[in-house]
Structure 1
Amino acid sequence: MGLSFEFPEGGAAVVVGGTGGIGQVICERLAEAGSNVAFTYRSQAEVARQLEQTIAGKARESACSALEVTDPTSVQAAFDGFTRRFGKIHAVVYTTSLEIPQQWFSRVEASQMERALQVNVMGLFNVLQCAIPLLRGGGSFVTVTTSATKRYPRRDVLSAVPKAAVEMMTLAAAKEEGRYGMRANCVGPHMIEAGGGTRVLEQVGEETIRKMKQDIPLGRFGQPREVADAVVFLASPLSSYISGQILDADGAWQV
């Protein structure tokens, strides 16, 4: 289905983590909605090349850059390159995360939590520091988090705890940068059949999966497009008076 959200002519949206399971679909839906797309990847160079071809097939321009979100110099270099390429950045989406093992809190090692905090929280901090000057004057920032910050699922501490901080940092940007015209919002998925969500499901049995679906009022897991469409809406002018919000895409799981 085609989308037309009237993104500004020229410029681009930046997706940090564009080669992930959800990130790829976000890039594709942004292109379908009429935006040029710049995206980053950490190690999946071949996936990045394929994604560039997909975006070109939607009659949009693209650019990609390898990026380590924990390295401020790497983040700044990527944003500088995207700005030179497209001129204006009208939206930034942060959808980078880690492969999170499902394990009990009592068994989590300090090094695991430190790494989760470094990538999720400090990674977002580094990206926001570069994005804020570019988004003042009407730009939008969207962070993909998790609905587990509202209703904690067992053995999810390495995801839920850092992303609670990620949400607050995004809301801080909305509160303080609104006076400059910048908006910032979050989209919080639950179990999505893509990327990390798929790998989590591979760790559990059929009976557990059945019970997980029973616990979701809509009776099923989500698809990456259903997260991507929420992200594109918040990145677009259609949500021009929406800021400082957390939109959970979880089939009412948290209710």
Structure 2
Amino acid sequence: MTLEEAREKAEEIEPQQQDRQPGVEGEMEPPAEFIRDGYEGSGKLEGKVAIVTGGDSGIGRAAAVHFAREGADVAVMYLDEEEDAEKTAEMIEDEGQEALTIDGDVRDSAFCQAAVEEVIEEFGDLNVLVNNAAVQVVKTELTDITDEQWEETFATNIHGYFYMTKAALPHLEDGDTVINTTSVNAFEGNDFLVDYSTTKGAIVAFTRSLSQQLAPEGIRVNQVAPGPIWTPLIPATIGDFDPEAVAEFGQDVPMGRPGQPSELGPAYVYLACEDSSYMSGQTLHLNGGSIVGG
């Protein structure tokens, strides 16, 4: 997809909603793009093994498919979106790499431990962990956020990152990487996503602190901070609150449009491979031109 095609696709987004999280790719209109036809792999991750949580769709699928094009085998972790996960696995295999799908809830520490063990048993190694699974619920008033919603958002968006990283660390070695997905909202705030934005801020601190702890071992920890990206989470969250608002999604950034997952995939490759060998504790901001601190 060219930049002009990306702009045209953004204009095709109409009011829509989905009634469950994290949403389903097949119900999105227009469908998202995950990797550009012209993206040529060059073996940057040849022989590597990666885990991507929330890898069934959206940004997670883009990271997984880009990893595969660069030569990695990929384990795709997902909640219960089996059809989307199988499609991601098919795309990985179309790149000539092996795929493993694992369904379960990253809010469960025991599941995270078992999932990592399954990856080690299947592939015999682990080199890249992408913490990406997330939930968000639109609430315009703090008092409308229930205790249960607050706790669930934290359980998925930051506790799950901790559980997965804790399980993966014994298998990571010098040169391996952890990549966390935070958000532009961690730096700008968001008045209708207070709990979500708070967890994304926690991810920033988690990334920076862990990077310092693991630097002596040669394990790098970085993060990607997406802006508005066209993923199933948008019609499933913003659309659930106001279907009309989906048609205007991303228009408030300088570039005037939402990004495609395909525009983020190469950033995950960069952080996973040796190209970023002198980079840890840092953030890549892919947000349509918004200027943020940090």
TM-score over 0.5 for the pair? yes
Is the aligned partner of 1:241 residue 2:253?
no
Structure 1 vs Structure 2 CA RMSD: 2.0
Number of the residue aligned with 1:18: 55
Aligned-pair distance for 1:46?
Answer: 2.3
Identical pairs, percent: 27
Cα distance in 1, alignment partners of residues 77 and 249 from structure 2: 36
The counterpart of 1:161, out of the listed 192, 198, 208, is 198
Partner of 2:138: 101
Q: Is the 8 A contact 2:179 2:223 kept in 1?
A: yes
Which residue identity lines up with residue 193 of structure 2 in the other structure?
Answer: D
Tell me how far 1:102 sits from its aligned partner: 3.9
Does structure 2 conserve the Cα–Cα contact (< 8 Å) formed by 1:5 and 1:236? no
TM-score, with structure 1 as normaliser: 0.91
Residue in 1 that maps onto 2:168? 131
Partner residue, 1:177: 214
Q: Give the 3 Å change call, closer, same or farther, for CA 216–132 of structure 1 in structure 2.
A: same
Structure 1: distance between partners of 2:264 and 2:188:
18
Q: Does structure 1 retain, via aligned residues, the 8 Å contact 2:45–2:273? A: no
- Residue 238 (structure 1) shift: 1.3
Matched, 1:68 2:105: yes
Any stretches of 5+ residues in structure 1 without a counterpart?
Answer: none
- Compared CA separation, residues 219 and 8, structure 1 to 2 (3 A): closer
Q: Does 1:36 align with 2:66?
A: no
Name the count of aligned residue pairs: 254
Distance 1:195 1:207 in 2: 14
Deviation per CA, 1:132-172, whole angstroms, max 9, x where unpaired?
22222110110111111111122111210011112211222
Alignment-derived partner of residue 224 in structure 1: 261
8 Å CA contact 2:67, 2:74 repeated in 1: yes
Q: Residues 198 and 230 of structure 1: is their aligned pair in 2 closer, same or farther, counting only changes over 3 Å?
A: farther
Instruction: Give the aligned residue type for 1:140.
Output: T
Give how far 1:204 is off: 4.1
Distance 1:3 1:129 in 2: 33
Q: Following superposition, which runs of at least 4 residues in structure 1 exceed 3 angstroms of deviation?
A: 5-9, 198-201, 203-212
Q: What is the alpha-carbon distance in structure 2 between the residues aligned to residue 212 and residue 73 of structure 1?
A: 37
Shift of the 251–170 alpha-carbon distance from structure 1 to 2, 3 Å rule, reads same
How far apart in 2 are the matches of 1:52 and 1:68? 19
Q: Secondary structure at the match of 1:138?
A: coil
Contact 1:150/1:254 (8 A) holds in 2:
no
Q: Distance in 2 between matches of 1:145 and 1:207?
A: 23
Q: Which residue of 2 aligns with 1:53?
A: 90
Give the distance between the partners of 2:249 and 2:162, measured in 1 at CA. Answer: 36
Q: Quick one: distance in 1 between partners of 2:118 and 2:246?
A: 45
Amino acid at match of 2:137: I
Q: 1:30 Cα shift?
A: 1.1
Measure the CA separation in 1 of the matches of 2:246 and 2:53. 32
TM-score scaled by structure 2? 0.80
Cα distance in 2 between the residues matched to 1:222 and 1:52: 23
The 5 Å alignment of 1:193-232 reads 193-202=230-239, 203-204=241-242, 210=248, 213=251, 215-232=252-269
Q: Aligned partners of 1:12 and 1:4: how far apart in 2?
A: 16
State whether residues 174 and 185 of structure 1, in contact with CA within 8 Å, keep that contact through their aligned partners in structure 2.
yes
The superposition leaves residues 56-86 of structure 1 with CA deviations (integer Å, 9 ceiling, x where unpaired) of: 1111111121122121111111111111211
